[in-house]
Structure 1
């Protein structure tokens, strides 16, 4: 995998000749036929060419890295890694996320190395990081429909099956106002969750 910090060097095509060899400019060398009288002259000429080639390669590398990093802003975004969700009581939230939604804990994550209680839950190949902190968001006065609030969206295969699970648990929800197969609900701390149906 390519490093995100040191992207691979790609040379601009106009600097390469058809054989893939860097075209080195010799404009700084006087246009005369070199007929070296000694090996010492050949050695100096060789060093001069190496130095010039090295400087041009460095310039091309900087141009290439600068163009990719600044102009294209391509620093290697792959996917969403995790979403942080605040909760007032970890056990209450785990009951919801594990027993209602069926998410599994990622035991490999550092649960005990942080200065607060929490848990990492798998959502496909990404995660939700539950963090037990005093909840800065009020439970009341929030938008009725979670789509108008900060929310986390989870892709699922069947909205109707989740609807049945939420009905059985007595958890309120609303369907997407656009009519697409999506359902909005809130966890015990009023964090808005969207579940959108996708073809898998």
Structure 2
């Protein structure tokens, strides 16, 4: 498993942006990158560099997705009908760990992956412990009965730090969520601008 969850703020600093919009992000205090060379003046990025950064930012946002997994999601996005960049966002937002995070059952995407892995989530009444499981419109996601009173869950659901997007219908009193529809890029509440079109360009080089 990727160890990136232990260095989530390093992603923010490397990107120079608070990509999850969290108040504790170090980018809120210092916008330069991590490490001894972090304060060096950065030159203008090439087209390749701009595309690479867009890919790293989008991949980093969804937590511990490996490069192999992410490339596989891209490959599926270009096979589907319609706009490939829109398909890419739709596939990422259909991941079970992303839906658990969006529903505010947990505080971070990293916690969502672990939460699903540890068997705390059911989809349509069946336990699913695969974070990459693809949710379909109409699916009902719920926190397992024994896990509904966990401090992590209660704190996340009560947090005013972010809102649940309108493509997910949530009842926090029952800790259930219904996936209404696959969102467009404009629907997804990213804290910073994401450019999936550049990610598609990066992989199609």
TM bin (shorter chain)? under 0.3
Taking structure 1 as the reference length, the TM-score comes to 0.25
- Greater strand proportion: 1
Q: Which has the larger radius of gyration?
A: 1
Structure with higher RCO (Cα < 8 A, 6+ apart): 2
Taking structure 2 as the reference length, the TM-score comes to 0.25
